[in-house]
């Protein structure tokens, strides 16, 4: 093989977060690949491509997956328009996505009992999950009954 330049990509290294040190029930992405059983539920910290790949794989294997992203949306390093189909596919797979926006709304609503889905596109009516059981609502935008502002 001949080449002018070669890029050798060795992969990524898991990052341990201070409030969530690895050990026990908190595992790295590398350790997730060595699990011998599929977990019933799984929370994936990080909505980047590695977290979404793992979340998607485990959802297809039968886990109930929730992705937690500190930013306002998944795949924050990519153009929002390009990530919209990914968000739609996650929703179709039943993967719950919690972003900074969704968590801020839940903090405002003390009775928020279930994770809010990703905000729908601008062309559809704004929806939220009711605090009493996850039933979609079509309340007026900004009202106390609707999570999305």
Q: Can you give the residue ranges of every domain in the chain?
A: 29-98
Residue 140 binned pLDDT confidence (cut-offs 50, 70, 90): very low
Q: What is the DSSP letter of 28?
A: -
Instruction: For 15-48, write each residue's pLDDT tens digit.
Output: 898 988 999 999 999 999 999 999 999 999 999 9
Helical residues (DSSP H) of the chain, grouped into ranges: 29-32, 49-60, 80-92, 100-108
**Shortest CA distance to 118 belongs to which of 55, 76, 62, 67?**
67
- Pairing mode, if any, of strands 96-98 and 64-68? parallel
Instruction: For 52-84, write each residue's pLDDT tens digit.
Output: 999 999 999 999 999 999 898 999 989 999 999
Query: What CATH class is the domain 29-98?
Result: alpha beta
pLDDT value at residue 109? 53
The single residue listed with the structure tokens 């002018």 is: 4
Full-model pTM: 0.64
**Angstrom distances, CA of residue 138 to CA of 35, 105, 119, 143, 148:** 41, 16, 13, 10, 10
């Amino acid at each position: 093989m001949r080449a002018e330049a070669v890029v050798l990509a060795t992969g990524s290294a898991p990052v341990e977060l201070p409030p969530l040190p690895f050990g026990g029930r908190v595992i790295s992405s590398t350790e997730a690949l060595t699990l011998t059983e599929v977990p019933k539920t799984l929370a994936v910290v990080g909505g980047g491509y590695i977290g979404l790949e793992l979340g998607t794989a485990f959802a297809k294997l039968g886990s109930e997956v929730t992705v937690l992203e500190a930013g306002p949306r998944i795949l924050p390093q990519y153009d929002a328009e390009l990530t919209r189909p990914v968000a739609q596919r996650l929703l179709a797979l039943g993967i719950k996505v919690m972003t900074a926006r969704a968590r801020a709304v839940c903090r405002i609503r003390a009775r928020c009992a279930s994770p809010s889905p990703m905000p729908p596109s601008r062309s559809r009516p704004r929806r939220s999950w009711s605090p009493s059981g996850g039933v979609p609502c079509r309340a007026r935008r900004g009202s106390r009954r609707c999570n999305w502002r």
